[in-house]
Structure 1
Amino acid sequence: MPSEFEEKLVEMINRGQPDDAILTCKKNAAVYGYHKDTAEILNNIARKFKEKNALSVAEKLLKASIEIYPGYVKSYADLGFVQKDMKKLKQAEESFKKAIDLNPGLGAAYNDRGLVLHALKKYDAAEESYRKAIDLNPTDAIAHNNLGFLYKDLKRFKRAEEHYHIAISLDPKFSAAYDNLGVTLFSQERYDEADEFFKKAIDVDSSNVSAYINQGLIFYHQKRYEEAEESYSKVLSIDPGFMVAYSDLGLVLYHLKRFEEAEEKYRKAIELDSMNALAYNNLGIILLNLKKYSESKESFEKAIELDANLVQAKRNLGLVLNKIKNFKDAEIAYKKAIKADPNNPGIYNDLGLVLYRLNKFEEAEESYKKAIKLKKNFSSAYNNLGECLYAWKKLDEAEKYIRKAIVLNDKNAFAYNNLGLVLYEKGREQKENKILLEAMKFYNKAIKLNPEFAEGYNNLGMLFYELKKYSSAERAFKRAINLNRRDARAYNNLGLVLFSLQKKVEARKAINIAIVLDPNLVKFDREKRKAISYRVSEDLKKKN
């Protein structure tokens, strides 16, 4: 039961007068000589304010307690705890050290000092401190748990497991120890074992949000997205303000292609932590998938503003700029990403794609080759390099790199399509039907791998047209159009083959659609368009 004096002090502090309360204590100690008792009163009050998370007030009261009675061990230990929570780690270390100097048998202080040393990355000193705590109290389950956590961070997994098991044997209801053991097993890719310990952590304490989060992480890693969603939703039912759960749930919903719901979760995560750069980056990815390109761009830019070292946000900014065909700014974004992470092959590959769009073929070639140098088995980079060389009319080199892409990944439909393009050009140049038939084989392979590959059907149609197989060409172009009704080239090419089949009305219709879709389309000869238009008109006059 608090004394009347203690209640008076609390009242003063609640009025925002902690300095007056401390001064009253000092006067009380000076007049009556109750130094230790007064220090204890301040310590008790400080604990109450720590529980309210009023850490700066608690720190001030504990320092005053020590000033009044410098030998009061409890206040040094509590001060260390408060300073640890305030992230004043060096000061916390000193406070715990002082508590230990005053009472070398205080095992709890060694344990708490170990936590601070661990956070300061003074791993040897942390290990020594935990071991001293255990020497003083071999049945201290918390110290064993903390030592296990240190070993886990040092990747000394076997030792970590040993101490977690000891902690659990000492306290079978120690939910955090089960959870931490699960994390250690997860770090070793022992997922099924890890899941068992997360379940045990939850069985012991159904409100352990960390265990639910970690269980969700296992499900996510195993692509069991519905179960991961359930785990993260459980966290939010326990703690609706748990920011990480919103972020993780957003990622799961992204993989379930429930983009609108994912956007909602990431926006909630940002509402809870407006300084979280990664959440802005992930929101940008969701918005990109929702084709909200302007908002996506803003989200990536905000992520970069918050964390200038977040390479993935810089890369993703390049991606959205590429998507909206702002190739010049995309080039700048990718180059900034490369400056931040010069050994990332994926960014060089992305930069190559943009340089290719800007017709900077030589620079694109250099960028793709850099990607390949960094990642020898980078199938996409080989394919893209081949495509670049094809555009540059270096057909032999293009063929070599695209064939390499296929060797590395024989499921790459784009590579088969591009190899078909190269062989098609070679066959036309050399007037060799044998080469054209080989090109057909690769187009068909691309379509088999991806039956929704509109470009593959369009290219196959062009090959049939070259072989004067007009009916087959017509079918291929119509299939391409069914798959992509915005493809001006397919309509244009269909018009060309329909003209050859003497289907002039249909030809005119197809060509007009192509012109509407892409007024700048120049692949179909303008004079030929005029001829078709004139002849169709003449035919209609005859019918009338």
Structure 2
Amino acid sequence: MNMSHEEEEEENNLSLSKFESMLKTNKVFFFDSEEFEDIVLHYMDTGRINLAKKALRLGLEQHPKSTGLKLVHVEILIYDDKIEQAEKILNEIALLEPTNEEVFIQRANICSKRDQHEKAIEHLREALRYTDDEADIYSMIGMEYLFMDNLELAKDNFILCLENDEEDYSALYNVVYCFDFLDQNQEAVEYLENFIDKNPYSEVAWHQLGRQFYALKNYEKAVWAFDYACLIDEGFLGAFLEKAKSLEKLKRYQEAIDCYNITIELDDPTSFAFLRIGKCYEKLGNNEQALNFYLKTVHEDPLLDKAWLAITDFYISQKNYQKSLYYINKAIGIDGENPLYWRRYANINQYLNFFEEAEEGYRKAFENGDVELDNFLCWSDVLYVLGEVSGAFEILNQAKELYPNESEILYRIVGLYYNIDEEFNAIEALNLALLTDFHKNYILKDLFPHVWESENVQKIIKNHNI
């Protein structure tokens, strides 16, 4: 019988293989207590709790006094939320071994489960007095401070962890996470540069340094840092991707394309890489290749809205509105609740003077969550063109609730009031619009030329311009 990949992995480990064999044959083999600990922890780490419990039971039968196995038992009890039972065993161990660091660590785990993070930290500080592995304890203290949202102290403890174990990459990621959360990008750069001075071949540190330079918009330096990460680890997908993004920011589009192509060679092609390559080709003016990669993107991920919008916008930029309408309709067919699709659908129909379809698009965009100012403005403009003045008013009043002092709304309201001969309200709205943003009075000229040309309106505008 062919063995599964997992079984092959377990065969590589003598103890695990022997234990599996024992379970299959019902024979009882002898293992020393440390072997049992490793077996139980292996099953816990791989999520096979029933096997972990079985191994623990057999282990305790063979080694009933083993402190290590009792501590593993405590871990399983904590996992099962049997906290009181776990505490009872811990108290028994503490009486026999008062300086056993694991007792303090497990007590900290219990406190952490109860959201008593300050108490957990006290236990971990006790563990520090007796441990040979300070790095792990500092990392645990850091995590407790993270749970308490104390990012500064979390960062300090992850840094202490790295001082004791420079290869603890999860601690390095956590340090950088804290710097990021605290908006301390420049401080992160200084920390990472010092770390790299001591660990020049740490591709993770170079990659994180590149990310900080990118956040600081120093794209030249970002490329430089990502380059080192890629040189140290030629299969570092994330570093190649972020180097490509930085090259795009520097408008070095062909180099960015080359970098994205490396990511495609390293792993299965991603829709993100195809989309970015398409964007780069479009920037280079190579429309044929741009379209080719946009089509590859939607083939790879038919639900990626950015890809459908890229194809639609590509055809809009070519003024090929029929083609862009075809593609946005395909996108809506895939996801009819995407407000971005409906907004584009409305824009294209407005270009083509299909005002009823455009009105439907803006309405559907709103119904699916689009409350951007532009959507309200375009929607009201289309309703006005269709002669639905009361509908246009309704939309602008809705917009006004979200954007109370927006001159683009106010000037449109002026035009609509004049259309229904409510001159008093129109003048009041015009004075408010001119006070809010005098320079946008061109909206009246563009959308309501007959209102703009009115003597009274010109007089009010001139008075405001004095």
User: TM-score, normalization: structure 1?
Assistant: 0.52
Matched, 1:105 2:65: no
For residues 239 and 301 of structure 2, what CA distance do their matches in structure 1 show?
23
Q: Go from structure 1 to structure 2 and tell me whether the alpha carbon gap of 1:279 and 1:357 turns closer, same or farther (over 3 Å shift).
A: same
* Aligned AA (2:17): A
Query: What's the CA shift for 1:202?
Result: 1.9
- Between 282-291 and 178-187, the greater mean CA deviation after superposition: 282-291
Query: What's the CA shift for 1:158?
Result: 5.4
* Aligned AA (2:142): G
For residues 40 and 188 of structure 2, what CA distance do their matches in structure 1 show?
33
Which of these residues, 226, 230, 233, is aligned with residue 227 of structure 2? 233
Equivalent position SS for 1:257: coil
Q: Is the 8 A contact 1:420 1:438 kept in 2?
A: no
Q: Go from structure 1 to structure 2 and tell me whether the alpha carbon gap of 1:436 and 1:77 turns closer, same or farther (over 3 Å shift).
A: farther
* Aligned AA (2:218): R
Which of these residues, 395, 403, 427, is aligned with residue 449 of structure 2? 427
Instruction: Name the structure 1 match of 2:347.
Output: 353
Matched, 1:89 2:42: no
For residues 65 and 168 of structure 1, what CA distance do their matches in structure 2 show?
37
Q: Is the 8 A contact 1:249 1:265 kept in 2?
A: yes
Instruction: Name the structure 1 match of 2:243.
Output: 249
For residues 387 and 250 of structure 2, what CA distance do their matches in structure 1 show?
42
Query: Number of paired residues?
Result: 364
Instruction: Name the structure 1 match of 2:293.
Output: 296
Consecutive unaligned residues of structure 2, counting only runs of 5 or more, are: 23-28, 61-65, 81-108, 411-436, 462-466
C-alpha distance after superposition, 1:8-57 (max 9, x if no partner): xxxxxxxxx999xxxxxxxxxxxxxxxxxxxxxxxxxxxxxxxxxx9763
Query: What's the CA shift for 1:350?
Result: 2.9
C-alpha distance after superposition, 1:128-179 (max 9, x if no partner): 699799576644413532663586589663563354144246x174663345
Q: Is the 8 A contact 1:216 1:227 kept in 2?
A: yes
Q: Go from structure 1 to structure 2 and tell me whether the alpha carbon gap of 1:166 and 1:230 turns closer, same or farther (over 3 Å shift).
A: closer
Instruction: Name the structure 1 match of 2:11.
Output: 60
Which of these residues, 307, 322, 329, is aligned with residue 326 of structure 2? 329
For residues 227 and 41 of structure 2, what CA distance do their matches in structure 1 show?
32
For residues 246 and 142 of structure 1, what CA distance do their matches in structure 2 show?
31
Q: Go from structure 1 to structure 2 and tell me whether the alpha carbon gap of 1:278 and 1:99 turns closer, same or farther (over 3 Å shift).
A: farther
Query: What's the CA shift for 1:81?
Result: 8.2
Which of these residues, 251, 258, 278, is aligned with residue 264 of structure 1? 258
For residues 179 and 77 of structure 1, what CA distance do their matches in structure 2 show?
29
Equivalent position SS for 1:105: helix
Q: Is the 8 A contact 2:263 2:269 kept in 1?
A: no
* Aligned AA (2:47): K
Q: Is the 8 A contact 1:281 1:303 kept in 2?
A: no
Instruction: Name the structure 2 match of 1:71.
Output: 31
Query: What's the CA shift for 1:357?
Result: 3.8
Instruction: Name the structure 2 match of 1:454.
Output: none
Query: What's the CA shift for 1:394?
Result: 7.0
Instruction: Name the structure 2 match of 1:499.
Output: none
Q: Output aligned runs, 1:18-417, within 5 Å.
A: 57-62=8-13, 63-66=16-19, 67=21, 69=29, 71-72=31-32, 89-91=46-48, 95=52, 98=55, 104-105=67-68, 138=131, 139-145=133-139, 148=142, 152=146, 157=151, 160-161=154-155, 163-168=157-162, 171=164, 173=166, 176=169, 177-290=171-284, 291=287, 292-304=289-301, 308=303, 310-320=304-314, 322-323=316-317, 325=321, 326-335=323-332, 339=336, 342=337, 346-357=340-351, 359-368=353-362, 374=369, 376=371, 378-385=372-379, 388-389=382-383, 392=386, 397=392, 404=406, 406=408
* Aligned AA (2:237): M
Q: Go from structure 1 to structure 2 and tell me whether the alpha carbon gap of 1:251 and 1:437 turns closer, same or farther (over 3 Å shift).
A: farther
For residues 126 and 254 of structure 1, what CA distance do their matches in structure 2 show?
48
Q: What RMSD, in angstroms, separates the aligned Cα atoms of the two structures?
A: 5.2
Equivalent position SS for 1:236: helix
For residues 176 and 360 of structure 2, what CA distance do their matches in structure 1 show?
46
Q: Go from structure 1 to structure 2 and tell me whether the alpha carbon gap of 1:280 and 1:425 turns closer, same or farther (over 3 Å shift).
A: closer
- Between 237-246 and 129-138, the greater mean CA deviation after superposition: 129-138
Q: Is the 8 A contact 2:152 2:178 kept in 1?
A: no
Q: Is the 8 A contact 2:274 2:293 kept in 1?
A: no
Equivalent position SS for 2:47: helix
% identical equivalent positions: 17
For residues 205 and 417 of structure 1, what CA distance do their matches in structure 2 show?
58
Query: What's the CA shift for 1:243?
Result: 0.9
C-alpha distance after superposition, 1:99-142 (max 9, x if no partner): 797665379979999xx99xxxxxx8896699799576644413
Query: What's the CA shift for 1:236?
Result: 0.9
Consecutive unaligned residues of structure 1, counting only runs of 5 or more, are: 1-16, 20-53, 118-123, 409-414, 440-544
* Aligned AA (2:181): S
Q: Go from structure 1 to structure 2 and tell me whether the alpha carbon gap of 1:293 and 1:172 turns closer, same or farther (over 3 Å shift).
A: closer
